[in-house]
Structure 1
Amino acid sequence: MNEFFEGMAEILEVDVDKVNPQLSLADYAWDSLSIVSTMALVDDIYNTMLDGQSLAKCEKIADILALVESKKG
């Protein structure tokens, strides 16, 4: 999970210590480029492909993690 948080910190351009499951994506640069980058990050780390529409609906880091879990299951 640490690798995921580090990747999300880079995508959202924030310090890694700010990234946690309750981080609100709307407070940062959560746009189409971030969504595509997150898709690539999740694919690299979890070997799971997410779709952009589902990611766009995510409001917090926890929502992304829940989406990953639902696709892995």
Structure 2
Amino acid sequence: MSEFFEGMAEIFEVDVSKISSEFELHSGEAAWDSLAIVSTIALADDCFNVMLEGKALGDCQTIADIEKLIAQAKKA
């Protein structure tokens, strides 16, 4: 998960120490926009070899929500 958190820190342009499962995607520090969503799709593919749907990602509120999507995609 470390590589994933590092990638999320890059996407949001914040220090990796700020990234955790509880990180809020719609906070003042995060720009959860279409570019961030597309970047997260690519990151999940690179880190976990899963393809996430943009609409499902758009509904996420925290990184924990993204982690749940990844876990579901791994099972499929």
State the identity %: 56
Alignment of 1:52-71 (within 5 A): 52-71=54-73
Residue 53 of structure 1 and its aligned partner are, at CA, apart by 0.1
Structure 1 stretches of 4+ with a deviation exceeding 4 A read none
2:56 alignment partner AA? S
Q: Which blocks of at least 5 consecutive residues in structure 1 are unaligned?
A: none
Query: SS of 2:26's equivalent?
Result: helix
The TM-score, its normalising length taken from structure 2, stands at 0.95
The TM-score, its normalising length taken from structure 1, stands at 0.98
Indicate yes or no: 2:42 matched with 1:7: no
Matched with 2:44 is: 42
Greater helix percent: which structure?
A: 1
Q: Which blocks of at least 5 consecutive residues in structure 2 are unaligned?
A: none
What number of residue pairs does the alignment pair up? 73
Aligned-pair Cα RMSD in Å: 0.4
